[in-house]
Structure 1
C-alpha cells in the first residue's frame, strides 16, 4: 500500500492509518537484485468487458507471478493453502507465513 492523496478512482480508504488514502500495489520483486519483475495496481472492481479479471488473492498472485512460473521461488507475507497447492503443482516454491485460524490449517 502506497500513501496517495489525489484524484484517483481506485484509491483505498483505510481510516485507522496515518495516511488514510492509499493505492494497493502487487509487485513481484527479485530479492537479490531488488529488480521489479512484474507489477499490478489494484483498481477495485473491473468494469464489464474484455478486460474484466478476478480480484481474489489467488487470481492476482497467479497473474503477477506468471513470468516466473516453473522457474523459482515466490515469497509473500501471508499465504493461502489452496494457492500454495496450485503453485506446487506448477513447480514453484512458496515461502510465507500462515495464520493459524485458517480452516485449512489443522489444529
Structure 2
C-alpha cells in the first residue's frame, strides 16, 4: 500500500505533530462528518501515546472528553472497528489503536 492509499497522514515537524485525513479514504468508508470529527479527535491521542502503541479508550472518558453522548461514542467506535480503521486489542478491552496499514507517519 503506497502513501496515496493511506487514510491518515501524520506529519511531525520538530516537536509538533499534525494529522490529516485523505478525502478518498473518507468517501470509501462512507464516514459522516461527525465520524470524521471523531477520528480527527482521536489522532492527537494516538500521537501522544505513540504511533503504533495502544490507546486506552474508555467509553465514559471519551464521551466526557469529546462532549459526545456515550451511545454515540459507542456507535462511532464500533463502526471504526468494523471498517478496520480502529483495532481493538481484545474483545471488551479498552486498548485501541489506528490500523497501522492506514496510517502514514513522516518526520521532517
State TM-score, norm by structure 2.
0.31
The higher radius of gyration belongs to 1
State TM-score, norm by structure 1.
0.31
